[in-house]
Amino acid sequence: MTKIICSPGSYVQGPGELEKLGQYAQPFGPGGAYIIAGHFVNTHYHDQLTHSFSEKNLPCVISEFGGECSMEEITKHKDNLGDASVVIGIGGGKVLDTAKAVAHYAGLPVIIAPTIASTDAPCSRLSVIYKENGEFESYLPLPKNPEMVLMDTNIICAAPARFMIAGIGDALATYYEAAACVASNATTMAGGHVTNAAFALAKLCRDILLEDGLKAVAAAEQSLRTKAVENIIEANTYLSGVGFESSGLAAAHAIHNGLTILPECHDKLHGEKVAFGTLTQLVLENYSLEELGDIITFCKAIGLPTTFKDLGIEGVSDEQLMEVAKRACAPDDTMGNMPFSVTPEDVFSAMKTADALGKAF
């Protein structure tokens, strides 16, 4: 049985790291960087970015992200790369996934620089592709992880706390999905079975979230950088990133993907939907009431959704919920990594039960 663990070439975290981007890009070649960034990043950090490259006599081009990690967006950037030696993504999860996909299709290295700690996407050898309307389309497996993941904690701490909270919601699924994959002996995103190291990272991720999550949110709401905030940034990004990829996904993310078909929750962040998917997975697996209660209470304390109302889908019909459940059980999704067979009817019942329990605690 082949076991595989994979991770980025380097993980760098600390205040002011974005100012060193030119230095970090220099080893990749004289062609400099093609930078994909959101409008906010281009507006507020344009001069800082270009200065870091001019200091190293390297060219850089900054191209704004169009808003969706779609094949159309990926193709647009790939066609505009010019002579760049490295692709750099700066922004949120969809910007980063776009940069990884562009680099993959162009055969170039990639540096990932998140400006928020909202997902476990940065470290992975995976891009999540969406349709132009925001509906989940497919996973794009990549042959390698990013050469570098760069976390400037000054910038991350300046972002609205909601993003860090969503990152906690995404990371919270890591251990529970990993445990399901261990039980089912599933093949992970890394292409092998779960290593002890990967599962240990997944467990450490959960432990840090529960210990430091509320403290970090209290600081993040005031744009403060504390030890708890630093721990949560690492848990949301590195521990969850390596943990999910090398330990596997299961029901929680499949349910997230199902929820994307509902326009009513398109304004919810990835991790917010995943958090509810985690509660649903715990119901599916019939976890103890004590553990369910602990996780629901934790989610409520930091502001993660625990009910349909929180997700904005309180008025959705049972027929629509069944469509979500059917999508979550699609053959190409990760529900098949559960340690038992799961039907759309099972998911439908578990979602409604999770909603009821979310109201009860």
Over residues 84-138, the pLDDT tens digits come to 999 999 998 899 999 999 999 999 999 999 999 998 889 999 899 999 888 888 8
Is residue 46 among the annotated active site residues? no
Please list the residue range(s) of the chain that carry CATH number 3.40.50.1970. 10-157
For 155-187, what is each residue's pLDDT tens digit?
999 999 999 999 999 999 999 999 999 999 999
Q: How far is CA 361 from CA 82, 173, 300, in A?
A: 55, 20, 9
Active-site annotation holds for 270: yes
Q: What are phi and psi of 37, to 5 degrees?
A: -145, 155
From 97, 120, 152, 170, the catalytic residue: 170
44 a catalytic residue: no
Asked if 151 and 91 count as a contact pair (C-beta separation under 8 A), the reply is no
**Which amino acid is it at 332?**
D
Q: What is the mean pLDDT of the chain?
A: 96
Which pTM was predicted? 0.91
Q: Which amino acid is at 330?
A: A
What is the residue type of 270? H
Residues of the chain with CATH 1.20.1090.10: 170-360
C-beta atoms surrounding 82 within 10 Å: 10
Confidence of residue 254 (pLDDT cuts 50, 70, 90): very high
**CA nearest neighbour of 101 among 50, 146, 52, 53:** 146
Q: Does the structural domain 170-360 have CATH classification 3.30.70.260?
A: no
Q: CA angle, corner 240, sides to 268 and 137, nearest 5?
A: 50
Q: Which pLDDT score is estimated for 3? A: 95
Q: Is 64 left (phi over 0), alpha (psi -120 to 50) or beta?
A: beta
**Is 39 noted as a catalytic residue in this protein?**
no
- Helix-, strand-, coil-residue percentages of the chain, each rounded to 5: 55, 10, 30
Q: Please check whether the domain covering 10-157 is classified as CATH 3.40.50.1970.
A: yes
Among 97, 270, 346, 355, which one carries the catalytic annotation? 270
Does position 30 have pLDDT exceeding 90, yes or no? yes
pLDDT in tens, 263-282: 999 899 999 999 999 999 99
